[in-house]
Structure 1
Amino acid sequence: MAGKRTTLTVRLRRLAAMLRELRESAQLSKEDVSARTGINVTTLYRIEMAQARPQRRTLGAMLDLYQVSDKIREEALSLLTDALKPGMSHAYEGAVSDVYATYINFEAEALSARQYQTSTVPGLLQTYEYAAAVIDTTMPRLDAVTMESRAKARMDRSVNLSKDDPLELWVVMDEAAVRRVVGGSAVMAGQLDRLITETKRKNVILQILPFDAGAHPGMAGSFTLLDFRDPADPELVYVESLAIDTLVEGHSEIRRFGVIFDQLRAMALSPRDSAVLLAEARASIAQ
């Protein structure tokens, strides 16, 4: 039996990939494994797709069948132990979507993030007041507790930029996100001040895609590419849209978004010129 379904974490995804590879190396189908261990085929599928976390005895039965070495067994059991620990999103899982909760967990362990943002400031760089103003536009309207929890989630994520081994963030942001006054003049002024401060970090690069750049490949929506330190953790893309957010995997899709990001940063203002535009936008706001 699989354990209770939890939000996906880096360790759970790595364990799932390991178990899938071990089964394939043993030249066994899911049906073969089910017949010889008694584990339901559907359960096996969900475990290998990281949709469910295996119980310890289930994992042990699989490892016994695959005749793994002591080293691999120890690694698999360690991954399971780590997968039992709540991810960064744990405190907000009732207030945010499953996909966004998963993204929060992966972002916390990523080496770098390449992000394109259309009409709003990226969540990692938002002030609380700006985040609350953006979230308040959600339809249907959220209750006060859920709204506060979502805004706090964005604030807590910002620790990724200042921890000992910080996330390397490269943002291309549409000029609309800078020019649109969200939450009123005071809120927007505070948000622009935050952007100006954050771009002074060595691990943050911000470029603005100006209006006069014309049509561009990011017009379909915002997205973020995450890269990880461990080669066992493949890249993934978080795609945001009005209707739904989703996580995308697979070499061809990752490469496609990588090419789009490279095109966008080539079309955007340089970091230096982007800083100038930010300062101009801040000066234009009367408080």
Structure 2
Amino acid sequence: MGKARQTFERRQLGLTLRRLREEAGKSQQAAAAWIGKARSQFVELEDGRGTLAADVLENLLDLYGVTDDERATVIELGALARARAKRRAHTDLLPGSFQRFADLEANATEINCYEFGIVPGLLQSLGYVRAMIDDGDGVWWQPSHAELSERIAFRLDRQERTFGSAEAKTLRFVLTEDALTGAVGSPDVMREQRRHILKLLESNDNLTVQVLRSDTYGNPARGGGMTILGFGGRGSPIGFTPTVFGPSTYLDQEADIADLLRVFQRLQELALDPDESVRLIRRIDEED
């Protein structure tokens, strides 16, 4: 195992291996011993500051019982983690990209998220989640009850990993007013969604939600979305820009993160403050 500087690809590999280890019920000490390494080296690996030779990675995956497509994906992650190429942006083209985003999200200590016209995934109610995924069933993928259920379960698990984390996260969201009045599911679903946000705010002191009014001028991110993940002392921030179709882009260069944070701060300035936002959500709900 070589000690290396932390890169996006190595962080993806490390977090993926951590999740697989936990799912397999193995300790860091046991996993380190299995591949003949010190626990300190193994910690470096899971923190994205280490790499594994291909044969050693294969051996570790044997311990975790990882097979088939998932195994092939992790092996490819390992190859990317060993590469020295430096790129400004990172596009995750491998299968299971949503799971790797969720791993990064769960590892973050700070999440700053802006969405235009849609409620961010972490704030979505069960009915909203079901309606959003149902809208894509048979369109983005072949109709499948099993896949529908898996996608819903994944979204709910992602929320639990964030809001149920033993380590409190700082969560800041800016969403546009039309996200609160949109036609997702049914009027009842939208009513449930607004009340779900209010309940989350009541039960999570570390959560801030601001609403950007539809009549606000000067929005520098109109039509787009972004998430900036902070990791405290565990690593540098990572930016994420989602797309409707195709792979999403990650940014981890200091200049790019500075740009994203500057835009997010501008959105916070333009949006209603947290108390005003709560009052607006309640007013929309009362008038519905």
Deviations 1:248-272 (CA, angstroms, capped at 9, x unpaired): 2111111110001001000000111
Matched to 1:226, the amino acid is L
1:120 to 118, 121, 133: 118
The 1:260–1:183 alpha-carbon spacing in structure 2 relative to 1, beyond 3 Å, is same
1:76 to 41, 46, 65: 41
2:76 match = none
What is the total number of aligned residue pairs between the two structures?
A: 227
2:132 to 121, 131, 134: 134
**1:218-237 → structure 2 map (5 Å cutoff):** 218-229=221-232, 231-237=233-239
2:182 match = 180
1:272 match = 275
With structure 2 as the length reference, what TM-score do the two structures score? 0.68
SS in 1 for 2:135: coil
Deviations 1:152-208 (CA, angstroms, capped at 9, x unpaired): 222122222233322211000011101113111111111111011112221100000
The answer as to 2:149 corresponding to 1:151 is no
- Structure 1 alignment gaps of length 5 or more: 1-14, 22-44, 64-72
Q: Does the 8 Å CA contact 2:108/2:229 hold for their aligned counterparts? A: yes
Counterpart CA distance in 1 for 2:274 and 2:97 is 31
Matched to 1:77, the amino acid is F
1:70 match = none
1:210 match = 213
Matched to 1:183, the amino acid is G
1:32 match = none
Deviations 1:29-55 (CA, angstroms, capped at 9, x unpaired): xxxxxxxxxxxxxxxx99868669999
**1:159-198 → structure 2 map (5 Å cutoff):** 159=160, 160-198=162-200
The 1:51–1:227 alpha-carbon spacing in structure 2 relative to 1, beyond 3 Å, is closer
Aligned CA RMSD, in angstroms, stands at 3.5
The 1:20–1:273 alpha-carbon spacing in structure 2 relative to 1, beyond 3 Å, is closer
Counterpart CA distance in 1 for 2:269 and 2:11 is 36
Q: Does the 8 Å CA contact 2:175/2:212 hold for their aligned counterparts? A: yes
Counterpart CA distance in 2 for 1:167 and 1:195 is 17
The 1:101–1:227 alpha-carbon spacing in structure 2 relative to 1, beyond 3 Å, is same
Question: How much has 1:232 moved relative to structure 2?
Answer: 4.0
The 1:146–1:212 alpha-carbon spacing in structure 2 relative to 1, beyond 3 Å, is same
Counterpart CA distance in 2 for 1:50 and 1:203 is 26
Counterpart CA distance in 2 for 1:277 and 1:47 is 41
The 1:97–1:270 alpha-carbon spacing in structure 2 relative to 1, beyond 3 Å, is farther
Deviations 1:50-94 (CA, angstroms, capped at 9, x unpaired): 66999989x98xx9xxxxxxxxx65223344788679xxx9xx9x
Matched to 2:114, the amino acid is Y
The answer as to 2:4 corresponding to 1:19 is yes
Deviations 1:87-120 (CA, angstroms, capped at 9, x unpaired): xxx9xx9xx9633211100111111100001111
Counterpart CA distance in 1 for 2:130 and 2:241 is 21
The 1:223–1:178 alpha-carbon spacing in structure 2 relative to 1, beyond 3 Å, is same
Q: Does the 8 Å CA contact 1:116/1:171 hold for their aligned counterparts? A: yes
Counterpart CA distance in 2 for 1:277 and 1:106 is 32
The 1:173–1:47 alpha-carbon spacing in structure 2 relative to 1, beyond 3 Å, is closer
1:253 match = 256
The 1:97–1:178 alpha-carbon spacing in structure 2 relative to 1, beyond 3 Å, is farther
Counterpart CA distance in 2 for 1:208 and 1:81 is 37
Q: Does the 8 Å CA contact 1:99/1:247 hold for their aligned counterparts? A: no
Q: Does the 8 Å CA contact 2:47/2:234 hold for their aligned counterparts? A: no
Counterpart CA distance in 2 for 1:47 and 1:264 is 30
Q: Does the 8 Å CA contact 2:128/2:185 hold for their aligned counterparts? A: yes
Q: Does the 8 Å CA contact 2:210/2:274 hold for their aligned counterparts? A: yes
SS in 2 for 1:273: helix
